[in-house]
Amino acid sequence: MLIFGSSTKVLQLAMLNLLCNFCGNPSAQALRKRVTKFTLFFIPLFPIAPAKHTLQCTFCGGTQEVSKENVEHLLAAAGAGAPNDGNQPPAQGGNPFAGNPFAGQPQPGQPPAGQPYPPQGQPRA
């Protein structure tokens, strides 16, 4: 008995901040590569279709296909050298909030630093 078929694997290459063509919002776009391979006894052997590259908006979910040339330009612009297959955390250099001028500021609706909420049952001053 011979068991054969195909399997599709999706690799996320990068997350890019771009303007969405569907909703018009500047949002994170997932650049993904989809490869379909021939399988024999559930072991992927060789690709049976050309790889497809897509961009998916994280805001509206709109998906569009991207050409190989545009993928190379997007990866070069993003500075992503190696694809991330989801098994490794994304590389970050230090504190991601280091350049944020609002880091450490109180959030709306929160008490000022050093003044905790009053105990329950007592009115606020």
Dump strand ranges (E) for 20-99: 26-40, 43-47, 52-57, 63-66
Contact between residue 29 and residue 61 where contact means Cβ atoms under 8 Å apart = no
The residue count for the chain = 125
pLDDT band at 5 (very low <50, low <70, confident <90, very high): very high
pLDDT of 58-116, one tens digit each? 999 999 999 999 999 889 888 754 555 544 555 555 555 555 555 556 666 666 666 56
Its pTM stands at 0.59
Q: Please state, in angstroms and as integers, the Cα–Cα distance from residue 1 to each residue in 26, 28, 41, 51, following that order.
A: 53, 47, 10, 30
pLDDT of 7-50, one tens digit each? 999 999 999 998 998 998 899 999 999 999 999 999 999 999 99
What does the domain layout of the chain look like in residue ranges? 4-78
Q: Would you give the DSSP letter of residue 107? A: P
CA 33 to chain centre: 13
